[in-house]
Amino acid sequence: MPKSKKRHEVCRHKDRGHYDEQTIHQILDQGKICHVGITVDAQPFVIPMAYVRQGRSLILHGAPKSRLLNQLAKGVPVCVTVTHLDGLVLARSTFHHSLNFRSVVAFGTARPIEDLAEKHAALAALTEHLAPGRTQVARAATDQEAQATSVVLFEIDDASAKIRNGPPIDSPQDMMLDVWAGVIPVSVLEGEPVPAPDLKAGLVYR
């Protein structure tokens, strides 16, 4: 990669690149799973993890023996990416077919959260992000449970967002073809709650 380019610079379709924190944080806040990239012995690993943003950091967690968590805690270079697919862009030509999406690519390093109070707060924030409202109703974590979890704070040094939205952009000579063009919106649907088979009688969801 040419040294003159910054690692978080959007090079293709520069008009789709965004660097302001508001845009980046909005995209991060709308996701629940990020893809965490680290390198071990020259081999890249990309692992899906649950996360929550706090300020300019992401909270990640896992089992204490997790290979990934142990690597992260060492402070190695990390890249974390979050992507939302928003639409299938159907053009008059196959060449101009595309996807509408929003993504954030963030670079930085992680450090372990060891302090028990900080760990409890981080885990509660994670639960609340993944399942809003649940820290109000579910049993809180015990110290033993918090101790049995590895938590790291991934601190973002630099990041960029990339966004494509809107209709297809066809070549002028294709505009009069008899081919339907437009966008199939794609979204994430949360369905009807399915009670656990062993749910205590009389309990209803919310």
The four Cα atoms 127, 133, 138, 143 give a dihedral, to 10 degrees, of 40
Q: Is the Cβ of residue 153 or residue 159 nearer to its own copies in the bound state? A: 159
Least separation in angstroms between CB 114 and its own copies: 18
Buried b (16+ CB within 10 A) or exposed e, 95-131: eeebebbbbbbbbbbbebbeeeeebbbbbbebbebee
Q: Which of 44, 54, 25, 7 is nearest to 154 (CA)?
A: 54
Q: With contacts defined by CB under 8 A, name the span among 16-24, 109-117, 152-160, 168-176 that binds its own copies.
A: 168-176
Interface with its own copies in residues 5-24 (CB under 8 A): 5, 7, 11-12
Interface with its own copies in residues 112-141 (CB under 8 A): 123-124, 127, 130-131, 134-135, 137-141
Among 19, 21, 37, 54, binds its own copies (CB under 8 A): 37
Q: Is the Cβ of residue 37 or residue 112 nearer to its own copies in the bound state? A: 37
Q: Is the Cβ of residue 54 or residue 81 nearer to its own copies in the bound state? A: 81
The reply to whether 205 sits near its own copies by the rule CB under 8 A is yes
Least separation in angstroms between CB 165 and its own copies: 11
- At residue 197, what is the residue type? P
Residues 110/78, Cβ–Cβ less than 8 Å: yes
Q: With contacts defined by CB under 8 A, name the span among 16-24, 43-51, 109-117, 151-159 that binds its own copies.
A: 43-51
- At residue 174, what is the residue type? D
Interface with its own copies in residues 59-98 (CB under 8 A): 62-63, 65-67, 71, 77-81, 83, 85, 88, 90-95, 97
Residues 148/72, Cβ–Cβ less than 8 Å: no
Least separation in angstroms between CB 35 and its own copies: 4
The reply to whether 201 sits near its own copies by the rule CB under 8 A is no
Buried b (16+ CB within 10 A) or exposed e, 16-40: bbbeeeebbbebbeebeebebbbee
Q: Is the Cβ of residue 36 or residue 153 nearer to its own copies in the bound state? A: 36
Query: How many chain residues touch its own copies (CB under 8 A)?
Result: 96
Which helix (H) or strand (E) element contains residue 90?
strand 78-90
